[in-house]
Amino acid sequence: MSLNKLSIFELQSLIQKKEIKVSELVKDCISQISDRDEQVKAWVDFNSNDALKNAELIDNQDQLLGPLHGIPVGMKDIIDVSGISCSRGSIIYSNRIATTDAHIVSLIKGAGSFVLGKTITTEFASGNPNVTCNPHNLDYTPGGSSSGSAAAVADYMVPYAFGTQTAGSMIRPAAFCGIPAIKPSFGTISRAGLSYVADSLDTIGWFARDVRDLGIVYNALTGNDVRFDKDGDLKKLKIGICKTPDWDNAENLIQDLFEELEINLSQSNIQYDHVELPKEFSLLGEVQNRIMCKEMTFWLEDEWANHHSQLSAYIIERLDFGKTISSEQILLDNILLEHSRKKMTSLFDDYDFIITPSAPGPAPEGLLSTGNSVFNRMWTALHLPCVNIPIKKSENGLPIGVQIVGKFKNDATLLESAKFIQDFISEQY
């Protein structure tokens, strides 16, 4: 039995019953990393000796340390872990060592988990690709900016991993790599110890290999009680299908997939409605981009002024654009966003969740782009919780996912609904 391929749910039981040792699990993770990471390139800082020492310390504990006891995790390289490098995907910080733990790291350690290593991010968690490859086909992008975290989980190197989303950096890599992920409601998880990109948008999320595992981590971090032992009946839920104003960007494969999904729902006597968003929502993708680029000019001000030659052309172009945006424009954008968020709150009086594309298609070929976040930007700007659910593979074996969007601060219910959808999909495809 390869322990690294088991879910958190399965590992919890085995570890708590002392049927396996944490060090045995970590040895299997190390073996997978040794076999595959030279090709996949998911990790930027990984020390097998330190990983084994941490595992053995936990094995020697007389009692459980928490709900994630002994479960290793990957941490995106913009999140500080004391004593480990945090380069932010930039050569500027290649020698930076964090001196304290980010709040999220303290939370997972308090829950009994431990950091296996740091996963590769794109430069400053933006759109400039790094070296990570898609584990399903090394010639294709894994998405970004949380490239290494998504690839490491998808390739069975670690049971779960943290990333961040400012535009589409959780949901898109999850879709391209064929794994579940959650971008929680904005503000759910403290970002203390995170290197910001755009502080009104940045959200910490996590990848796993099963929706149930997303919920286990959510419970451990928030003290909530997502329940997956309920009998799931989609017939009792109010489902909306939203193609969004950006539907024309969806590849034929995605458009056909949604037609197929609607047929399967109808044949299973599951009711759904088509959700038509207000006309002004077509502006929200541009709004998100303007706010992100404007806020980047603040958070990367020192790098712009003192390390300009070490910035990529992509980052410079983003910052140049941000500097052209007036404060008056940002004020208008935020007014529109607040108005739109209120409209979404009212809309969710009629729906339990919305199904929408995670990405325009499967992962694009090549490593010169992380893909298009057009189906993520609006939801991120609206601060709504989103979950990617893998649904099938393309003819060339690349994963395709759907995005489940829920009401603001209703993440627990969204995760329960996502489990119902995951189970429905597993029966249909």
pLDDT in tens, the chain (429 residues): 799 999 999 999 999 999 999 999 999 999 999 999 999 999 999 999 999 999 999 999 999 999 999 999 999 999 999 999 999 999 999 999 999 999 999 999 999 999 999 999 999 999 999 999 999 999 999 999 999 999 999 999 999 999 999 999 999 999 999 999 999 999 999 999 999 999 999 999 999 999 999 999 999 999 999 988 766 678 899 999 999 999 999 999 999 999 999 999 999 999 999 999 999 999 999 999 999 999 999 999 999 999 999 999 999 999 999 999 999 999 999 999 999 999 999 999 999 999 999 999 999 999 999 999 999 999 999 999 999 999 999 999 999 999 999 999 999 999 999 999 999 999 888
Please state whether the predicted TM-score (pTM) of the whole model is above 0.75: yes
Q: Which residues contact 20 (CB under 8 A, 6 or more apart)?
A: 3, 11, 14
| C-alpha Rg value of the chain to the nearest Å | 21
User: Does the annotation count 169 as an active-site position?
Assistant: yes
Structural domains present in the chain: 3-222 (3.90.1300.10), 234-282+330-428 (3.40.190)
Q: Which residues contact 81 (CB under 8 A, 6 or more apart)?
A: 75, 98, 101, 102, 105, 115, 118
Catalytic entry in 145, 149, 358, 417: 145
User: Does the annotation count 53 as an active-site position?
Assistant: no
**Rounded distance, CA 286 to CA 200, Å?**
15
Residue 274 phi, psi (nearest 5): -85, 130
**Rounded distance, CA 104 to CA 193, Å?**
8
Per the CB < 8 A criterion, the answer to whether 380 and 200 are in contact is no
Query: Please, which residues bridge with residue 353 across strands?
Result: 239
Catalytic entry in 87, 169, 340, 358: 169
The encoded tokens of residue 379 equal 């939801």
Catalytic entry in 76, 109, 294, 419: 76
User: Does the annotation count 85 as an active-site position?
Assistant: no
Q: Which residues contact 404 (CB under 8 A, 6 or more apart)?
A: 353, 354, 355, 386, 387, 388, 389, 414, 417, 418, 421
